[in-house]
Structure 1
């Protein structure tokens, strides 16, 4: 019987190599963490939310309407309200002139009848234009939630024309329109306004 035979069951047990204890020259390694099944790894905090696909449904733009754009939208509705009031005043003036034409004392006055016809016709035309401009403002404001760069340009043109008309010829009654129109142009023309109207309208992954 030989103790040197490695196959001898009665021989001395073989020595196993000793592993170095952690903390003595060899740092203890932690196995990498595996993501849980069924739950994708969350992106870094700085990448969540604004402009990232898959978070909020849109890519390349803000998820909610910026405050300046909301303010411009409200101002469009305010202008529309003033337009409706103006249309009512023009219509009432046209009705009053038409009633004056039927006055017995003025029916034989040819000059007045011609002036009344012209004035009533002009007032009804102004009524239609003013009311149409107000409806246009409502349509623009209603499309702020889904409109793109074309709507932004149209709103800027609308605001510029409204501001100019408020200065001349309706300077007395158009100062409020001018002020609101200038603010609309500024708010829509700013960088956050451009980001809102130029954002992608399709959900993430939609082709």
Structure 2
């Protein structure tokens, strides 16, 4: 049996199928237009989950609970600030406290300023609760807002309120870390149908 010249690059080589056909496939069957079949395309968001996770990751759940805890602490703090504003307002009229030097330092605060502080504390708590509530349906904007909230809360917990803000600081750092991780990004970046 002769297979032609073995040095001819255009001739049929010994032991190989004919020109233009993949190895192992008979010459009578051709794939469509010479291209191999590709697997079906699935949505992929780069997180390892096709289409994103279907259940909230544990770190994101923990961050959500921590936001609710911070919100609760803020509401309690707003109640104490409102009671302080009420007390200072009522005590300014007490003639027995006119000579008390320590009370006069507290009485020098404007009652309106104390009410403003109470309002800011309450607003920060409401923001924490709303962010926590939006975790199940929110997108990347909620993730970024939660991270900024965590960073600002951590900084405020360190500087003006060192002892009282220690719990806030720890919770805020954990919120920022858990939301900023890859599984947090996958949760907030998942497609919503």
Output the TM-score relative to the length of structure 2. 0.69
The aligned residue for residue 81 of structure 1 is 72
The aligned residue for residue 162 of structure 1 is 153
Alpha-carbon distance between aligned partners in 1 of 2:64 and 2:179, rounded to the nearest angstrom: 9
2:167 aligned residue (176, 183, 197): 176
Q: In the TM superposition, what is the alpha-carbon distance from 1:99 to its structure 2 partner?
A: 1.4
The aligned residue for residue 144 of structure 1 is 135
Instruction: Between 152-161 and 113-122, report the one with greater CA deviation.
Output: 113-122
**C-alpha distance 176-113 of structure 1, shift in aligned 2 (>3 A):** closer
Q: In the TM superposition, what is the alpha-carbon distance from 1:121 to its structure 2 partner?
A: 2.1
Alpha-carbon distance between aligned partners in 2 of 1:200 and 1:133, rounded to the nearest angstrom: 29
Q: Does 1:103 align with 2:94?
A: yes
Alpha-carbon distance between aligned partners in 2 of 1:145 and 1:51, rounded to the nearest angstrom: 21
Instruction: Between 99-108 and 66-75, report the one with greater CA deviation.
Output: 99-108
The answer for unaligned runs of 5 or more in structure 1 is 1-46, 53-57, 203-207
Q: Which has the larger radius of gyration?
A: 1
| 8 Å contact from structure 2 (residues 88, 106) kept in 1 | no
Q: In the TM superposition, what is the alpha-carbon distance from 1:163 to its structure 2 partner?
A: 0.2
The aligned residue for residue 118 of structure 1 is 109
| 8 Å contact from structure 1 (residues 163, 181) kept in 2 | yes
Alpha-carbon distance between aligned partners in 2 of 1:188 and 1:137, rounded to the nearest angstrom: 14
Q: In the TM superposition, what is the alpha-carbon distance from 1:123 to its structure 2 partner?
A: 1.4
Q: In the TM superposition, what is the alpha-carbon distance from 1:108 to its structure 2 partner?
A: 9.4
The aligned residue for residue 198 of structure 1 is 189
**For 2:109, what is the secondary structure of its paired residue?**
helix
| 8 Å contact from structure 2 (residues 75, 125) kept in 1 | yes
Output the TM-score relative to the length of structure 1. 0.65
The answer for unaligned runs of 5 or more in structure 2 is 1-39
Q: In the TM superposition, what is the alpha-carbon distance from 1:104 to its structure 2 partner?
A: 2.5
Corresponding pairs, count: 147
| 8 Å contact from structure 1 (residues 59, 200) kept in 2 | no
Alpha-carbon distance between aligned partners in 1 of 2:164 and 2:105, rounded to the nearest angstrom: 28
Alpha-carbon distance between aligned partners in 2 of 1:108 and 1:185, rounded to the nearest angstrom: 48
Q: CA RMSD in A?
A: 2.6
**For 2:192, what is the secondary structure of its paired residue?**
coil
Q: In the TM superposition, what is the alpha-carbon distance from 1:119 to its structure 2 partner?
A: 3.7
